[in-house]
Amino acid sequence: MKRKTSVFHFSLALGACMVLFGCQPKPTTTTGTTWALVPFEKADSVNPILLPGENIFDCPVLGKPVAWEIKDVFNPAAVVRENKVYLLFRAEDTVGRFAGTSRIGLATSDDGLHFSKMKEPILYPDNDSLKRYEWEGGVEDPRVVESEEGHYIMTYTAFDGTTARLLLATSPDLIHWSKQGAVLQGSHKDTWSKSGAIVARREGSKIVATKVNGKFWMYFGDTDLFAATSTDLLHWTPELENGKLKSVLKPRKGYFDSFLVESGPYALLTDAGIVLLYNGMNHNTQGDTTLAKGAYCGGQVLFAKNNPMQVVDRLETNFIRPDKPYEITGQVNQVCFLEGMVYFHDRWFLYYGTADSKIGVAVKP
């Protein structure tokens, strides 16, 4: 998520979105349906769990050292490996023209609450074939799942200053990454695209990408949500309708998600169906009046187990919202942005960006 660069994009899409979603009754409480992952409780005793720092990195594009995480850290992916939680976080310096260049760093934890950072980023713009997509806005907002073979697949967003594009990278160990290029190709290669959440199942503490009807599925987008399929997790084909990306989830007038919907972590395949935690932005004039204008909150939607484009159910209200000082005030105010989730020590840990400035965690028993 890069709200500071995509507000214009959101505004262009808003007119169409407002036509497409209908008036619905004002929600009052979360439905509490059994399929949903609720409740999560914020770990107030330790939050925020990750802050900006002063680590230095020799940027290959600039050809000089930069304090790559000095400004903000936020929007992390999370993975359990070798009984540790690995947090892959977005960090910004103060050098780039777009409020800093973003890179992806790594922190580890033995308990899911207290983290130690690596000194250098693990994924960053370089003088490679993807520089034209990644510089100088950077690389941001990772989401990670594991393949059946034990490799890690990361979706991330590259921003060149004009267009955000959804890209892929792979790794054997979460530290060394190989860039694989853009998710959208052909006539859609320059389409604004972000936030790729791959459908996966839980095996113990592992989150493993899983086929549905013979294909891997991914949800993506930051206005409506869209879908794409793959046979190998590397080459993806978007679902289309009349030559355009086919919407599978839309904003709702009068709700916390009235301006946009954007993928959270991976989509979790369960007995009830496919559970997707997502981020919703409140519309300034046609949203939930109990929330601040422009607030980002977390929602959940259930897609059919055998039809990933069919919505079965959706929570009426957000299950997490900005209500702490570090969530209310920051680079972008009023933000809880969900992006990483692990099952660790028999509990769910949900990691989220706070006001595009820090990182928090909420825990579900």
Question: Which pLDDT tens digit goes with each residue over 39-68?
Answer: 999 999 999 999 999 999 999 999 999 999
Work out the pLDDT band at 1, boundaries 50, 70, 90.
very low
> Taking 60 as the threshold, does the pLDDT of residue 18 lie above it?
no
> Taking 60 as the threshold, does the pLDDT of residue 29 lie above it?
no
Work out the pLDDT band at 99, boundaries 50, 70, 90.
confident
d(CA 60, CA 216): 35
Please compute the mean of the pLDDT values over residues 301-316 and round it to a whole number.
98
- By the 8 A CB rule, do 79 and 343 touch? no
SS3 188: helix
Please compute the mean of the pLDDT values over residues 29-44 and round it to a whole number.
83
Work out the pLDDT band at 321, boundaries 50, 70, 90.
very high
Work out the pLDDT band at 96, boundaries 50, 70, 90.
confident
Nearest alpha carbon to residue 264 among 298, 310, 227? 298
d(CA 1, CA 196): 11
Give the pair of three-digit tokens for residue 302.
């259930």
Contacts for 244 with CB less than 8 Å, ≥ 6 apart = none
Helix (H) or strand (E) holding 202: strand 197-203
d(CA 360, CA 37): 18
> Taking 70 as the threshold, does the pLDDT of residue 7 lie above it?
no
Length of the chain: 365
d(CA 224, CA 99): 26
d(CA 138, CA 161): 9
